[in-house]
Chain A
């Protein structure tokens, strides 16, 4: 890779970083508007047109609030907790392939932070580290409710990671690679029959696995109905009871970034990533009837694919919020029972089913 290409790739990394933050910022706004609409309310509409400046107002509020350290708190770890939560959340978006390649003359830009051939494991590892931010913050607060929230977060994340990993294994059996880019590309279809594009998406081959995965994603991101670590009715605020100011803001931000990453991972693994229906037809149409060069046509397809992937991601983010304002919270024993006695056996069954179907050549 030449240096200019490396420079482009660095730019992509920065853009991914910025976009993650921007989406997290506006997720707070979207959450409030969606919550309001689902409850027949108006939602924030004071700051700017349609309340679009609300996140800015929130940021100003969070920054100007008092930095509070509870008595007996471990100050270093109290600050370290939210930083860690934010860092791990941001790191996981690095390997997600947001788009195919853009080509300008000699320069080829991959719309992906970094491509590593264990991309899926990388995301999985970062997600599993995310719980440290919550645990350290909860413990360092020197508050029993915070500690209980931290303990709940830890046991919940570990329990649901198992089912999540088992659901992933079924995807791996089909795709036979760990690279997120290759998994995406495999879901494209050059078949002339246009709707085959959608039938090639992994969700068509792994409906059960997808349901398991999305339930686990809800648990891993601590979203309702599994937001036990911050359950207000039992634990006041859970792990962030003692937090105020921007440290609190970082925790909330990390949650939204996690939601964004989870949505992106689900879009890539199960919903074809940057592939969209008719893409090859569109490209050949652009080349044959519009007289564009193949490279230009491919660039257009790439940008449309990027837009398509973000549409899928926003759809999932909306789904996260939709579910949050629909379902009540699980009780803790129900949560554990669901994870251990329903999802894990189901995921193992799904692996066996997938293995059988592959053996008999039903899916490949």
Chain B
């Protein structure tokens, strides 16, 4: 384990804890962004440059901006947070604990195949290789996803379009 990996993991765990422990929702979002950064760092360590860059662009750069956007608009803070009943807290703790238990149980049975340094292809995470896999093996799901995104985009444009008769300022 390289020191870089240890450092990234440490920061990732710490900031992930920060997300749920921070009192201020804006701090939570910022911790989440930091978590995404460390995850991108992990991708880089795994030689997956494309995934690292896309993770930053899509998650840190776009989705989290929208999160922050909404939270800033609502201006959430401790005082405005509604008091939750004890029953809900207990139920949430039980549900979360069971999820953790299931995840740990599931992970126990996974047997990582490991890799053979002799045959391991270090270029597997590069853009061109990833593209070949996506467009050859997974062409249909990829295209379906892209059509879905395009439809969402066209829908957004249609919502933004001025309707006839609308006042033009």
Contacts and interface: CB of A to CB of B under 8 A. Distances in A.
A348 B151 CA distance: 12
Contacts of B57: 121, 124-125, 128
Interface in B118-138: 126-127
B65 interface: yes
A122 B68 contact: no
B157 A340 contact: yes
B61 interface: yes
A158 B127 contact: no
Interface stretch (B15-23, B48-56, B83-91, B107-115): B48-56
Contacts of A155: 69
Contacts of A178: 50, 127
B33 interface: yes
B66 interface: yes
Contact of A344 (B30, B54, B66, B157): B157
Interface string A149-177: 01100110110011000000000000000
B153 interface: yes
B72 A129 contact: no
A151 B75 CA distance: 12
Contacts of A125: 53, 56-57, 60-61
B153 A161 contact: no
Contacts of A345: 157
Nearest to A162: B153
B72 A135 contact: yes
Interface residues of B, number: 30
A116 interface: yes
Q: Secondary structure of the B side of the interface? A: helix
Contacts of A344: 153, 157
A261 interface: no
Contacts of A74: 24, 26
Contacts, number: 82
A95 to B, nearest CB: 11
A157 B65 contact: yes
A276 interface: no
Contacts of B54: 121
B165 interface: no
Contact of A154 (B56, B69, B126, B127): B69
Nearest to A340: B160
B72 A336 contact: no
Interface residues of A, number: 35
B62 interface: yes
A158 B156 contact: no
Interface in B151-166: 153, 156-157, 160-162
A131 interface: yes
A273 to B, nearest CB: 20
Contact of A151 (B26, B62, B72, B161): B72
B72 A337 contact: no
Contacts of A333: 169
A358 to B, nearest CB: 15
Given A125-B57, A345-B157, A158 B66 contact: yes
Given A118-B49, A121-B50, A135-B68, A158 B56 contact: no
A203 to B, nearest CB: 24
Nearest to B63: A158
Instruction: Give the most central of B30, B49, B65, B73: most A CB within 10 Å.
Output: B65
A326 interface: no
Instruction: Give the most central of A118, A122, A158: most B CB within 10 Å.
Output: A118
Contacts of B156: 340
Interface string A104-125: 0000000000001110011011
A150 B68 CA distance: 10
B62 A129 contact: no
A132 B30 CA distance: 9
B53 A161 contact: no
A122 to B, nearest CB: 6
Contacts of A161: 61-62
Given A118-B49, A118-B127, A125-B57, A139 B26 contact: yes
B53 A135 contact: no
A269 interface: no
A144 B61 CA distance: 24
9 contacts: A116-B49, A117-B126, A124-B57, A125-B57, A129-B60, A135-B68, A139-B26, A158-B66, A340-B160
Given A74-B26, A154-B69, A158-B65, 9 more contacts: A124-B57, A135-B65, A135-B72, A139-B26, A151-B72, A151-B73, A158-B66, A178-B50, A341-B157
Shortest beta-carbon contacts, A-B, top 9: A128-B61, A121-B53, A125-B56, A125-B57, A340-B160, A118-B49, A118-B53, A139-B72, A154-B69
